[in-house]
Amino acid sequence: MKQMQDALVRHPELIEPGLTVLDRELLIDSGGIDLYARDAQGRSVVVEPKRGRATQDGVSQLGRDVATVQKSGIGTVWSILAAPSITAPALNRTPGDWHSARLAPGLMLLHQRSCPPCSTEQSPPPFKRASQT
């Protein structure tokens, strides 16, 4: 998992052109955010990378993480689950405004289709890195 995280931090364009990783391993009430980023339009992005096939648990965890970040007042958050593949039950569990795309060999993305732009002047949420505890 750490190797995948490192690769996505070094090459966030594998996830989305213009994506900038702002932080990683942030602790929040629902658990931890693996990657916190900003897209080219200034939207906050929570990325949940999975080394193996994404399951319903991964989709649920991403939903909880996004809800927690939104409660912090950061505004609307774009959500991305990055994995080599996703199980059919997990894909069926996603809300209707999500879709999947295969953008790189061995990397399937599941992300929100639409999200109103957030201010580009927003700062990252006030969460702690896992290494700070």
**Structure confidence by residue, pLDDT tens digits, 2-40:** 788 888 889 888 888 899 999 998 888 777 889 999 988
The per-residue pLDDT for 13 is 86
Question: Is residue 125 included in any domain, yes or no?
Answer: no
Contacts of 25 (CB under 8 A, 6+ apart): 32, 33, 34, 129, 130, 131
Question: Do residues 43 and 19 make contact, with C-beta atoms less than 8 angstroms apart?
Answer: no
Question: Is residue 58 included in any domain, yes or no?
Answer: yes
The answer to whether the Cα torsion of 56, 91, 94, 50 is positive or negative is positive
Question: Is residue 97 included in any domain, yes or no?
Answer: yes
Cα(123)–Cα(68) distance, integer angstroms:
16
Question: Is residue 60 included in any domain, yes or no?
Answer: yes
pLDDT in tens, 81-128: 888 878 888 777 665 555 454 444 455 665 544 333 333 334 444 444
Question: Is residue 127 included in any domain, yes or no?
Answer: no
Question: Is residue 35 included in any domain, yes or no?
Answer: yes
pTM over 0.75: no
Question: Is residue 126 included in any domain, yes or no?
Answer: no
Question: Is residue 132 included in any domain, yes or no?
Answer: no
The per-residue pLDDT for 85 is 79
> How many domains are contained in the chain?
1
Could you tell me the residue range of the domain that residue 59 belongs to?
Answer: 2-116
Pairing mode, if any, of strands 44-49 and 77-83?
Answer: parallel
Position 55 pLDDT exceeds 80: yes
